[in-house]
Amino acid sequence: MTLFTFIEILGTLAFAISGIRLASAKRFDWFGAYVVGFTTAIGGGTVRDLMLSLTPFWMLDSTYLFVTAGALLIVIVSGPYLIRFNNTFFIFDAIGLGLFTVVGIEKTLTAGFPLWVGIIMGTITGAAGGVLRDILINEEPLIFRKEIYALACVFGGVVFGLCQWAGLGAGTTEVATALSVIAARVVAVHFGLKLPILK
């Protein structure tokens, strides 16, 4: 298994857990929670692939179905512990955001597009699944609230470009990008960093 594949699967697991965790808070049944988790995990990548004129990635590999099932099992088994910690959703969502930003950028560059398109697609890959998740559970999408969310993905894209400019290896670049997105999200929430509200 390559580092990129590992990042993609880990991101799928993290986002699926975040979606299932919120679905459980809304008292969804197991199937409904699975649907929310799966949509969260594959939503952004599906939008990305359609915009790049590619077959949606999950239609070519059933792994993502099983990873989401594993996420559901994790929540079922450890549900009381996950629910006890209110920041569990935030942790898994931040990890998924960082990992999927990397996936989106790499797949866009592989398809032959320039880095600026990769940054946009990385942001879509990271954030769009969360938008679909919030719509399914009848919540205002997190990306439209005051918290810095999608901008963390953009920041990660800039870090990716800087790492490439510095001549760093692919693995180092991917890890640095993911960590920068996660760090930006954590710092923004911890210090309450927000964009001005449009009045």
Q: Are 80 and 34 in contact (CB under 8 A)?
A: no
Average pLDDT of span 133-161:
88
Is residue 58's pLDDT more than 90? yes
Is residue 57's pLDDT more than 90? yes
104: amino acid identity, one letter = G
Positive or negative torsion for Cα 122, 74, 79, 76: positive
Considering the domain boundaries, does residue 48 fall inside one? yes
Considering the domain boundaries, does residue 198 fall inside one? no
Considering the domain boundaries, does residue 96 fall inside one? yes
Considering the domain boundaries, does residue 197 fall inside one? no
List 147's β-bridge partners, or say none. 194
CA Rg, the chain, in Å?
A: 16
* Host domain of residue 64: 3-190
Considering the domain boundaries, does residue 165 fall inside one? yes
The pLDDT tens digits for 75-119 are: 998 866 665 555 666 888 888 899 999 999 999 999 999 999 999
Q: What is the pTM of this model?
A: 0.88
Considering the domain boundaries, does residue 154 fall inside one? yes
Is residue 182's pLDDT more than 70? yes
| Structural domain count, the chain | 1
Please report which confidence band the pLDDT of residue 43 belongs to, taking 50, 70 and 90 as the band edges.
Answer: very high
The DSSP secondary structure of 63-101, one letter per residue, reads: HHHHHHHHHHHHHHHHHHHHHH-TTHHHHHHHHHHHHHH
Average pLDDT of span 12-25:
90
Please report which confidence band the pLDDT of residue 5 belongs to, taking 50, 70 and 90 as the band edges.
Answer: confident
Considering the domain boundaries, does residue 195 fall inside one? no
Q: With pLDDT > 90 as the criterion, what percentage of the chain qualifies?
A: 66
Considering the domain boundaries, does residue 17 fall inside one? yes
Average pLDDT of span 121-144:
90
